[in-house]
Amino acid sequence: MKHTLWALALLAGLVCSASASADPLDQPAKESPLAEKRLVNGLVHAGPKRLVAVGQRGHILFSDDEGKSWNQASVPVSSDLTAVQFVDEKTGFAVGHDGVVLRSDDGALSWRKVFDGRVANTLMLRQLQDMPPSAERERLLPEAKRNAEQGPDKPLLDLHFSSASEGFVVGAYNLIFETKDGGRTWSSWYAQTDNDKLLNLYAIRAHRDGLYIAGEAGLLLKLDAKARRFVALRSAYAGSYFGLVDAPAGLIAFGMRGNALLSRDEGATWQPLATQLQASVTAAALSSDGKVLLADQSGGIARSADGGATYQRVPLPAAMPLAALAVTPTGLILGGPRGLRATP
């Protein structure tokens, strides 16, 4: 597995899950005055004023003053969290290790668990067992049985909800699930991806009328809604992609060693971007005026003023390793292994 912030967080979460005396799925996140100084993996806006950050040991924090101060939310699990999305000011979802999916209906103040790795393993296995005999079923069924034997140790790494009801979550080793009722019930898409090697799925984003997944070893997928399958796109880069951006200029896929590519034709072709970044690109953000920002794990940030086509470095007073990024009217909010920081 590649040595990036995502991979390191994945490894740390697996070690913590294996060594903890109590299952993090059964232990609420502890309140801590140091939560904003701990690992942050995801950072988004919930409405025009509120910022929400997710990270280590189930910590979820929110700020209403552009990152000057943070409050900790009530969270029913202590699994490491990897990504968060709000579909409106009140309704949000977060995903993380142990296959956990959380939902908030009060703007991040409190959360409830709507899915986890225990349910995921049972669901995958049952759906495959119910499939008609096929080569794909026979290939995947042993993997699903191994997952069930190993327990709920696989992380979910990203999510995309088109509404408070409908969404997908994706994760390690080709984990992908869909809900159409806000998380009450789920279906597995484990057998509905062009991902024979069961590579990690790191990111999922909508762009124009399509839905896309980026993953390990150059994997790019696009939803074929009619066939109900994520089909492979031709990739111009063999390294791992860690994120996707629905940018004004087109769809951007970013990943290892500063690499990013832009597609102006909905994934048919891709052109390399000169990001001005050297380390693995681990986070992205869009400003209200259409500027695109990319951040790497060494603390470098590059900004595009033309919708994502060309970039210039953003000077920062002090660099910090980055895994999450948000734009406010007064500056940037940075998140990573050292926690949260607001910068002009």
Domain map of the chain by residue range?
5-285
The model carries a pTM of 0.93
pLDDT in tens, 313-324: 999 888 899 999
pLDDT in tens, 120-150: 999 999 999 999 999 999 999 999 999 999 9
Residue 16: CB partners within 8 Å, gap ≥ 6? 24, 57, 80, 97
* Residue 276 neighbours by CB distance under 10 Å: 18
Query: Tokens standing for 99?
Result: 């296959």
Full pLDDT tens readout for the chain, 344 residues: 334 444 444 434 443 444 446 899 999 999 999 999 999 999 999 999 999 999 999 999 999 999 999 999 999 999 999 999 999 999 999 999 999 999 999 999 999 999 999 999 999 999 999 999 999 999 999 999 999 999 999 999 999 999 999 999 999 999 999 999 999 999 999 999 999 999 999 999 999 999 999 999 999 999 999 999 999 999 889 999 999 999 999 999 999 999 999 999 999 999 999 999 999 999 999 999 999 999 999 999 999 999 999 999 999 888 899 999 999 999 999 999 999 999 98
Calpha distance 195→235 (Å, rounded)? 13
User: What is the distance between the alpha carbons of residues 296 and 298, in angstroms, rounded to a whole number?
Assistant: 6
pLDDT value for 199: 98
What is the CATH number assigned to the segment(s) 5-285? 2.130.10.10
